[in-house]
């Protein structure tokens, strides 16, 4: 019986480690966003930044500010919300949000 409790404790700890990791990832800034390509995808879908901000649940001025300087202020969670709102493919999302080459 004691062994079962230790397994439960391990699962409990792992769960909270994952929760903490997810929260940290959502707070990290993106940077290197191809804002022009993002705007092009909006035009293709008949949308604009104001409508996108509404779709992802942030103020229009906040979205404009976050996209300033190539999206340095955009959080990972917000980028994920944009991908879902625009129904971007993995290729499109990569082209927009990961413009810097990784060596």
Which residue matches tokens 């499109």?
A: 92
User: Which token pair is 47?
Assistant: 């949308």
**What kind of architecture, by CATH, is found in domain 29-97?**
Orthogonal Bundle (1.10)
User: Which token pair is 51?
Assistant: 């409508």
Span 10-55, pLDDT tens digits: 555 555 555 555 555 555 556 688 999 999 999 999 999 999 999 9
Burial track 40-73 (b if 16+ CB lie within 10 A, e otherwise): ebbeeeebeeeebbeebebeeeebeebbeebbeb
pTM over 0.75, yes/no: no
Question: Where does the pLDDT of residue 77 fall: very low under 50, low under 70, confident under 90, or very high at 90 and above?
Answer: confident
Answer with the residue of higher pLDDT: 35 or 5: 35
């Amino acid at each position: 019986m004691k062994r079962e409790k230790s397994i439960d404790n391990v699962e409990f700890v792992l769960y909270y480690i994952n929760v903490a990791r997810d929260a940290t990832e959502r707070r990290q800034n993106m940077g290197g966003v191809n804002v022009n390509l993002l705007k092009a995808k909006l035009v293709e879908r008949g949308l604009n930044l104001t409508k996108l901000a509404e779709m992802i649940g942030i103020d229009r001025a906040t979205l404009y500010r976050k996209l300033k300087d190539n999206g340095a202020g955009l959080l990972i969670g917000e980028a994920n919300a944009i991908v879902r709102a625009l129904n971007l493919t993995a290729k499109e999302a990569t082209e927009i949000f990961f413009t810097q080459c990784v060596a």
